[in-house]
Amino acid sequence: MISSLVHQIVSGMLLALHYTSDISHSYSSVIHIIQDVCYGWYFHYVHSVGASVVLLVVYLHLLRSLYIGSFVYNANLWLSGLCIMIFLMFISFVGYVLVWGSMSYWGGTVITNLLSLVPCLIECICGGFTVSNPTLKRFFLIHMLVALLVLVLIVIHVYYLHGQSSTCPIGYTTNNLCLSLVKLILVKDFYGYHLMLFMFTIHMFLGVCNVCHCDNHIEVNSLVTPFHIIPEWYFLSLYTMLKVFPHKLLGICLFCFVVIFHCCFVEVITVCCIFRLFCMIVCFD
């Protein structure tokens, strides 16, 4: 996961040298990067496809943590990982709007309209009543600053993992600092990095699956709405929760409930484990 984030940061810094955060030139600057800049097409697709790769790795990492129960032994490790996932999804959203394609614009409009429940909030964040030029400039700045914040959170996450240890797949709590860092950790990460790079390269040049909607290759026209507003695949579950209820407030309440449930998952599991242990002791007596 760290290697994929490094790819995103390096490619994003190179793209930022040629990108213009203005609604009149943002889409044309993206086309300029792809067509005119030397190897600009490569860094553009590395950055766009790499966003899906990062979140895919994060989802798999989260499922693995749920399977081995790493949240039971070290709750701070689980909470720091959840913060990284939330910030990564926020970064991917604001970066998706920067492309200034048709699907990006209307997707950003739908999500920012959720802020209208709080008076004056959408004007403070977007700089107006709709997604406009100040919104694009602010999203571009936020996209870069929050990426640096994620690096700090990753350092904290690695400290809780290797400094205070976690639950291993076989069910024991072991201090990873006692293990050989070179033989058991770096070699394994090196192998996983090359495997991910191989699959990433195949997708880059062969296009195994299309991770971007075709309407996003059309420049923004505020008078023409796409037939279906479809977000990226990693936002489909959250977007579906917002569409379950026709009322905006109920959809946001469901979304907030899911987020709070994920954050409180450690406490819930801990209480359940304590209750189960108490029942076992009572039954044994």
- What are the helix (H) ranges across 99-221? 102-112, 121-126, 133-162, 187-206
Which helix (H) or strand (E) covers residue 167, if one does?
A: strand 166-167
- Residue tagged active-site, from 162, 203, 217, 262: 162
Residue 137 a catalytic site member: no
Q: Out of 21, 47, 213, 232, which one is annotated catalytic?
A: 232
Handedness of CA 129, 214, 145, 78 (dihedral sign): positive
| Identified catalytic residue from 116, 123, 188, 219 | 188
Q: For this structure, is 243 an active site residue?
A: no
22 classed as catalytic: no
32 is catalytic: no
Catalytic one of 189, 219, 222, 237: 189
Q: How far apart are CA 99 and CA 232, in angstroms?
A: 13
Listing DSSP states for 141-165 in one string gives HHHHHHHHHHHHHHHHHHHHHHTS-
Contact yes or no for 95/85 (Cβ under 8 A): no
Active site includes 162? Answer: yes
Cβ(256)–Cβ(264) below 8 Å: no
Which token pair is 149?
């914040």
User: If DSSP codes are grouped into helix, strand and coil, which group holds residue 248?
Assistant: helix
Burial of 57 per CB tally in 10 Å (0-12, 13-18, 19+): middle
Structure tokens at 114: 């959720």
Instruction: Please tell me which residue in 48, 70, 102, 166 is annotated as part of the active site.
Output: 166
Q: How far lies 93's CA from each of 102, 242, 249, 281, in Å?
A: 14, 16, 21, 49
Q: How far is CA 243 from the centre of its chain?
A: 21
Catalytic residues: 162, 166, 188-189, 232
